[in-house]
Copies of this chain bind each other. A is one copy, B any other.
């Protein structure tokens, strides 16, 4: 997979350098331009995935440029501007910019915002399967399936999945019964806690736990539960 290409348009050389340094360190390819005329020539040679555009250009009205870019280019357009008024931001976004960052900016935030833009573009294809690995198991939450170390598959139900998710999201930490009820959306009190017990019990059997010596879901008498075991999400 090729690294995404970011085009930078800003008349101040220091700003250009700061941006290109940060972006290349973050794994992007960059091309920098100081004037709108060069920028447009560069666009014809290679289509960037993201355009960072400063509005205060010497040779062209920045907003008009943004508008044309939005219509003609498929790239994500991010304005970087010293003009901080709300009205400036609103018109910039209305004209087709995908984001508006105010100077002075932090390069780390620029990187994060670029990533957010690129993510949506290819989000569906790249969406990582929501899976967790622990103690030889692989839990696939998008398929409601547990895969054992030997490859055998054990389906789990929605109720069991909710409990399992809570455990896997905070392993090695005490989870009180009240917390778990809250997460499961159940009204605390009367007889719902018994339902929770049953859910945990059924989950334990699916995980092949030895009731007398549970290795994964440990009961803390009078307090709650702890999920032991290294969890790696991917």
B120 touching A158, Cβ below 8 Å? no
Please tell me which one of the listed residues B59, B90, B99, B218 contacts residue A144 in the complex, with CB atoms under 8 A apart.
Answer: B218
Is A103's beta carbon under 8 Å from chain B? no
User: Quick one: given A108-B90, A112-B93, A120-B120, are A185 and B71 in contact (CB under 8 Å)?
Assistant: no
Min Cβ gap A167→B in Å is 14
The complex is assembled from copies of this chain, and their number is 2
What is the size, in residues, of chain A's interface with B at 8 Å between Cβ atoms? 51
Q: Are A116 and B90 in contact (CB under 8 A)?
A: no
Complex: how many Å from CA A120 to CA B50? 13
A101-160 contacts to B, CB under 8 A, are: 106, 108-109, 111-113, 115-117, 119-121, 127-130, 142-144, 157-159
CB distance from A124 to the nearest CB of B (A): 8
User: Which residues from B are CB-within-8-Å of A106?
Assistant: 86, 90
Complex Cα–Cα for A96 and B127 (A): 11
Contacts of A226 in B (CB 8 A): 142-144
